[in-house]
Chains A and B, each alone.
Chain A
Amino acid sequence: MARSTVIAGSSTAALDDVAPRVGRPQRARRTTSPSRRWYIGSIALAATIALWFVATAAGWVTGGRFPTPSDVWRAAMQISTDGGYGGGTLLQHIWQSCRLVLLGFAVAVATGVPLGLLMGSSRRADALVSPVFMLLRPIPPLAWIPLAILWLGLGDAAKIFVIWVAAFVPSVINTFTGVRSVDVTLQEAARVHGASRAVLLRDVMIPGALPMIFTGLRLSLQASWTTLVAAELVGAFTGLGKVLSVATLDIYPGMILFAMVWVGVLGALMTKSLAWLETRLLPWLR
């Protein structure tokens, strides 16, 4: 159950801490085979897309409020070719957004996980640090954006700072919870056999906490992505959020939809790659 543990009261809680898998629970009354599910799913999606074309042909979708398929195609062509849109080509925007997310995420993990380990293994450190945490945690990461812009301007530094704020909290809390939930018998067994603090941490605490740490990383990554898109919408030079904000100003629904699809695709890709990494690094949980 470690994968689905809900971190109570987390304001940064993402979807996945409510439902780690929307797949069938084991006690489902009626089971659906995955292939049937996939089948119906693709038919439903295809039907919607067909409906979109039909609605356009019938004149219900005119492109003013919602783009027509040809609008989206035009937007895709425009942004993918030399001139680009909103200050760069699609690849440049994607590269910029992914680079910032990974940088901010890396900084958050590099600071958050060690702090979580420290707070989890030393109750004194926990007592000292947790009040600051309790004060700052209710402030949503998105609310830091104006402050970050004031302090650091519109460049990369402000984005990385905001992503750090967003991703830091889930890393710390889940690592902390993971360390605290390591079986006490295991800890005491290790101690009885003469493990030093360092050995205990390396061989017992960290492996025991890893599943929770990964839950934290997943939440962190999702928070990073949401926050970055928001920060780029508020102000940026390149990036997918910048594309969205320029397209909004230009009233260009085709480009908005195209950029939104990319936001979704990249978000899904990141989550999936982290899940893949988790199964590679923690084979015993599979």
Chain B
Amino acid sequence: MAAVIASRRARHGPSRREFVVLFVTGLLAFFAAWQALSMIGIVPRSFLPGPIDVLQTIVRLSYEKYSGDTLWRHLLASIGRFGMGFLLAAAVGIPLGLLMGWYRWLDDVVSPFFESLRFVAPIAWVPFAGLWFGTGIGGPILVIFSGAFPPCLINAYRGAKYVDRRLVEAAQTLGASGPRMVTDVLLPASLPSIVAGLRVGAGLGWQSLVGAELIVVASGVGYLMVQAQLNLNTPTVMAGMIAIGLVGVAIDLALRALENRINQNWGRES
């Protein structure tokens, strides 16, 4: 919510100092309420562990094994799967999107499938993922792929469609062939759009991975959380949630940095 912070420079409303005070108040109030709720005992502590309990759990899980491994090793397993599924989605989606942006017949043929498949929630692929790959590496990759693929394809396609006409015509005048047009004109011109798609795709892919891990696999943070849930171990569930959130933020920040770089170098001035 960077926009929230950026928008404080408004004409009306609180001063910068008041904003910071309110911001910190909100933050503290949240943690205080959480801690208080778990300490007073309106809800049993095993149901709602306080922030300190959860923090202790995270520290403990980083050296003590739970459901087979430490928290960090589980996290590493998840990130590895995510990386493979995401790279596959990008490797298939971006070229296909670019080609669809240039070759109309391909667009006409692929679009109906894409349009009818995109309404199937990525998570609904989990049963087939299990059936086809068992608990192997392929299952989660399929699910991540189905989450991350559509934004990769759509943004490459839109990028290719919105390329400046003059560039296309200039290249055509100079005799560029179809394949060269795609690699030398459409690809560089649509890079900003592609990177934006990568970022959305990464978010969706990470989210789908978590869903897949809740169901089909035997390692990873999702698996850790399901085991903890079955053992009624709330602090571990919460520790897993925090770990997932942190990695999600890290992935988003990394791609945002890439996006900024690309926009500086390739962004259109218009």
Interface residues of A (CB under 8 A from B): 6, 8-15, 17-19, 22, 24-25, 27-30, 32, 36-37, 40-42, 44-45, 48, 65, 122-124, 126-135, 137-147, 149-151, 173, 176-177, 180, 225-226, 229-230, 233-234, 244-245, 247-248, 251, 253, 256, 259-261, 263-265, 267-268, 271
Given A9-B199, A36-B108, list of 11 further CB < 8 A pairs?
A13-B204, A18-B154, A18-B196, A18-B200, A32-B108, A37-B108, A129-B26, A150-B47, A229-B123, A244-B126, A256-B128
Contacting pair A8 B3 (CB below 8 A): yes
Contacting pair A263 B210 (CB below 8 A): no
Contacting pair A15 B108 (CB below 8 A): no
Residues of B contacting A40 in the complex (Cβ-Cβ under 8 angstroms): 108-109, 112
Which B residues from 180 to 198 make CB contacts under 8 A with A? 196-197
Tell me the interface secondary structure of chain A in the complex.
Answer: helix
Bound-state Cα–Cα, A22 to B225, Å: 37
Contacting pair A15 B154 (CB below 8 A): yes
User: In the complex, what's the smallest C-beta–C-beta distance from A196 to chain B, in angstroms?
Assistant: 15
Count of residues in B whose CB is under 8 Å from the partner chain = 88
Bound-state Cα–Cα, A18 to B121, Å: 16
User: In the complex, what's the smallest C-beta–C-beta distance from B245 to chain A, in angstroms?
Assistant: 4
Contacting pair A140 B126 (CB below 8 A): no
Q: Residue B140 at the A interface, CB < 8 A?
A: no
Bound-state Cα–Cα, A141 to B7, Å: 27
- Looking across the interface, which residue of chain B has its beta carbon closest to that of A128? B26
Contacting pair A29 B168 (CB below 8 A): yes
Residues of B contacting A259 in the complex (Cβ-Cβ under 8 angstroms): 124, 127
Contacting pair A142 B124 (CB below 8 A): no
Contacting pair B22 A260 (CB below 8 A): no
Contacting pair A123 B10 (CB below 8 A): yes
Q: Residue B91 at the A interface, CB < 8 A?
A: no
Q: Residue B266 at the A interface, CB < 8 A?
A: no
Contacting pair B121 A225 (CB below 8 A): yes
Q: Residue B131 at the A interface, CB < 8 A?
A: yes
Bound-state Cα–Cα, A122 to B238, Å: 32
Bound-state Cα–Cα, A36 to B111, Å: 13
Question: Contact flags (1/0) for B208-243 with A, using CB distance below 8 Å?
Answer: 101100110000001001101100101001101110
Contacting pair A226 B154 (CB below 8 A): no
Contacting pair B131 A253 (CB below 8 A): yes
Contacting pair B241 A9 (CB below 8 A): no
Residues of A contacting B117 in the complex (Cβ-Cβ under 8 angstroms): 264
- Across the A-B interface, how many residue pairs have beta carbons closer than 8 Å? 240
Which of B4, B117, B155, B248: most chain A Cβ within 10 A?
A: B4
Residues of A contacting B18 in the complex (Cβ-Cβ under 8 angstroms): 124, 127
- Looking across the interface, which residue of chain A has its beta carbon closest to that of B102? A29
- Looking across the interface, which residue of chain A has its beta carbon closest to that of B129? A248
Question: Contact flags (1/0) for B71-100 with A, using CB distance below 8 Å?
Answer: 000000000000000000000000000000
User: In the complex, what's the smallest C-beta–C-beta distance from B59 to chain A, in angstroms?
Assistant: 19
Contacting pair A147 B238 (CB below 8 A): yes
Interface residues of B (CB under 8 A from A): 1-5, 7-8, 10, 12-14, 18-19, 22-27, 29-30, 47, 104, 108-109, 111-128, 130-132, 150-151, 154-155, 157-158, 161-162, 165, 168, 196-197, 199-200, 203-204, 206-208, 210-211, 214-215, 222, 225-226, 228-229, 232, 234, 237-238, 240-242, 244-246, 248-249, 252, 256
Bound-state Cα–Cα, A18 to B3, Å: 19
Among B22, B154, B196, B226, contact of A127 (Cβ-Cβ < 8 Å): B22
Bound-state Cα–Cα, A161 to B26, Å: 23
Residues of B contacting A244 in the complex (Cβ-Cβ under 8 angstroms): 124, 126-127
Among B113, B204, B206, contact of A48 (Cβ-Cβ < 8 Å): B113
Evaluate whether A150 and B229 lie within 8 angstroms (CB atoms) in the complex, with A11-B248, A25-B162 already known.
yes
Evaluate whether A25 and B244 lie within 8 angstroms (CB atoms) in the complex, with A15-B118, A131-B23, A263-B121 already known.
no
Residues of A contacting B3 in the complex (Cβ-Cβ under 8 angstroms): 8, 177, 180
Evaluate whether A11 and B252 lie within 8 angstroms (CB atoms) in the complex, with A27-B162, A150-B229, A253-B131 already known.
yes
Bound-state Cα–Cα, A139 to B157, Å: 30
Which of B18, B104, B117, B246: most chain A Cβ within 10 A?
A: B104
Residues of B contacting A229 in the complex (Cβ-Cβ under 8 angstroms): 121, 123-124
